Amino acid sequence: MSTLTADPATPGSPDTSRPSRPRPGYKVTGPRVLRAEWAKTWSLRSTWITLGVAVFLLVAAGLLGASNYSPSGTGRGPGADAKDAVGVALGGIGFAQLAIGVLGVLISGGEYSTGMIRSTLAAVPKRLPVLWSKAAVFGVVALAVATVGAFASFLAGEHFLSGDAIALSVSSSGVVRSLLGAGVFLALVGVLGVALGALVRSVAGGIGLLVAVMMLLGVLTGLLPSSLGNDISPYLPGNAGGSIYALHQASNTLSPGAGLAVFAGWVALALAGAAWRLKRSDA
């Protein structure tokens, strides 16, 4: 009895004479994760809209404050009662910080709301590079946009303040440092939003926590006895962040360098909490 064998040359039969080629391996590297997060950030319509809103609010509020400024203190609008031209130009920084912070929350917390975070973590099993890349990408974007907005607001308001005692130019002492400080502050607020969104894994919860940290803590501290409140107040996130871009330091406030260190410490603490939860719990 003879045994039939398959002819490799016969059409339709498997060709076992050639070794199979191994599939190329793709390593998960830092630059690739950064590129992926960059693509995801700019693919969101909310990124373009919210960054545009942040710049608009910053410039519009600065123009409004400059056009309504009055040396007698009767002016109206954000920053109209400021003591220097930088304060007038940055009168809308509170609105801008809210817009940029909320966008940071959306970038991280939004993935948990849609369930896309499962696909992201499946592609990057080590997890933490995802958080660092989100924070780095959005921090750089927010820094560039906020710095441009701060300088645009200052330059646009120069015409209205010309001849007033508070008028300054870009070449005046401390002006460039303050405007750059505003960009750094808003960038850190954006990174804080990313961290809080990843920490609570909810857009609504992250926004609520952001508002509480940046705004409500100062209000609650005002309810404390003055001796205790004055000691705590300079180290709160909102107050420490405000010291970064202030042209002149008021009494009981931190210097720009100290304010930057304290506020960056708050942001680092939020990132550490987000990293701990990302490593310890499932998505």
- For residue range 148-161, list pLDDT tens digits in order: 999 999 999 888 88
Residue pair 63/153 in contact by the 8 Å Cβ criterion: yes
- For residue range 4-32, list pLDDT tens digits in order: 444 455 555 555 555 556 555 567 787 88
Confidence of residue 248 (pLDDT cuts 50, 70, 90): confident
Q: Distance of alpha carbon 196 from its chain centroid, rounded?
A: 11
- Give the separation between CA 24 and CA 123, rounded to whole angstroms: 16
CA distances from 176 to 18, 67, 182, 245 (A): 68, 22, 10, 10
pTM listed for this prediction: 0.86
Residue pair 175/256 in contact by the 8 Å Cβ criterion: no
Helix ranges (H only) for the chain are: 30-43, 45-67, 85-89, 93-114, 116-123, 128-161, 175-200, 203-211, 217-221, 226-232, 237-245, 256-280
Confidence of residue 1 (pLDDT cuts 50, 70, 90): very low
Residue pair 69/164 in contact by the 8 Å Cβ criterion: yes
Query: Can you read off the two tokens belonging to residue 251?
Result: 């009494």
Nearest to 160 by CA among 110, 88, 108: 88
Which residues, including other chains, have CB under 8 Å from residue 162's CB and lie 6 or more apart?
none
- For residue range 74-109, list pLDDT tens digits in order: 556 666 667 888 998 999 999 999 999 999 999 999
- Give the separation between CA 138 and CA 144, rounded to whole angstroms: 10
- Give the separation between CA 77 and CA 60, rounded to whole angstroms: 10
